[in-house]
Amino acid sequence: MIKIIASDLDETLLDTDGSLNQKNIDAIKAATKAGVYFVPNSGRGYESFEDNLVDLGLAQQPHQYKISYNGAAILENAHDRVIATNGIPFNLAKGVFDAGRTFDHVSCHVYLLDQLYIYHQTPTDAAYMASRQVPFTKLEEPDIDFLKNRPIMKVIFETPDVKRQHELADHVMATYGDGVDVTFSSGRYIEFNKKGVNKGRALLQLADLLGVDHEDTMAVGDNFNDLPMIKAAGVGVAVANAVPEVAKQADVQTKATNDDGAIAELVNEYVLKG
């Protein structure tokens, strides 16, 4: 019996244009009413999807939860209460940032728990971030020393050039691979978290805190950064529009894409039918 549904946001729960369709809203509200936890599990900062939680009736609700930064932060929705964080040590984050920023035509993002800094934002990144209404502070200089005493959740880079994505990842991992893991998302982002930190680990950590058996969890996603939770959950699901490598490793693939209410399909099949 599914008790937790952990869902990626972009290209999974949300339509391609970043909106939340009514089929998913209605299904998630019905699942919540039935006692199922619906947990957004995103690479993004939690403040950037607060409007989505409002639409779902989950914003600022006690005993409802969210996971951000690819598993680096777990929070209760009420008052954004932090339950657990697992960020990157500053010297490691600085090394990753400095290594990645040497690549031309690449955006550099540094995520704190409640703030995002971006250096050298590209037009493609700006358009994508605007479509998600993600707030951030622009870095004028490639220097993050002022963040030395602030907890850094993750460091990511943006380019739609797949070859360049892998070149950058290989370059960073050659020096810092002992301390960080790398993954990819949305066809554009190269994401670095502290080694061992991922969406799957955070999902199981939350399940343990809630006393939910791992077999009673479901995780839904579309891209490489979703794989750890898809593999960790009792039922791992790829949406119809998932990249092939992710779809191959899922237990189930939806018939619906993110634009057609994939989450509603799952709720109707696994929660409401029973």
* Per-residue tokens: 106: 């690449």
In this structure, which amino acid lies at residue 44?
A: R
Judge contact between 117 and 148, C-beta under 8 A.
no
Q: Is the pLDDT of residue 93 over 80?
A: yes
Q: What is the DSSP string of 188-245?
A: TEEEEEETT--HHHHHHHHHHHHT--GGGEEEEESSGGGHHHHHHSSEEEE-TTS-HH
Maximum alpha-carbon separation in the chain: 56
Region 32-54: what's the mean pLDDT?
Answer: 97
Q: Cα 104–161–45 angle (5° rounding)?
A: 85
- For residues 165 and 184, what is the distance between their CA atoms, to the nearest angstrom? 8
Average pLDDT value for the chain: 97
Region 192-196: what's the mean pLDDT?
Answer: 98
Judge contact between 108 and 159, C-beta under 8 A.
no
Query: For residue 138, what are the β-bridge partners?
Result: 118
Fold for the domain defined by 90-193 = 3.30.1240
Helix or strand holding residue 161 (H, E): none
User: Residue 199, CB half-sphere, CA atoms under 13 Å: how many?
Assistant: 37
Closest to 69 measured CA to CA, from 12, 24, 121, 110: 110
* Per-residue tokens: 132: 């998600």
**Sign of the torsion formed by the C-alpha atoms of 42, 198, 233 and 225:** positive
Q: Is the pLDDT of residue 148 over 80?
A: yes
Fold for the domain defined by 4-85+197-272 = Rossmann fold (3.40.50)
Taking the domains of the chain in order of start, what are their residue ranges? 4-85+197-272, 90-193
Give the pLDDT score at 273. Answer: 85
Give the pLDDT score at 274. Answer: 60
Is the pTM of the predicted complex or chain greater than 0.85? yes
* Residue 249's pLDDT band (cuts 50, 70, 90): very high
- For residues 52 and 50, what is the distance between their CA atoms, to the nearest angstrom? 5
Helix or strand holding residue 33 (H, E): helix 22-33
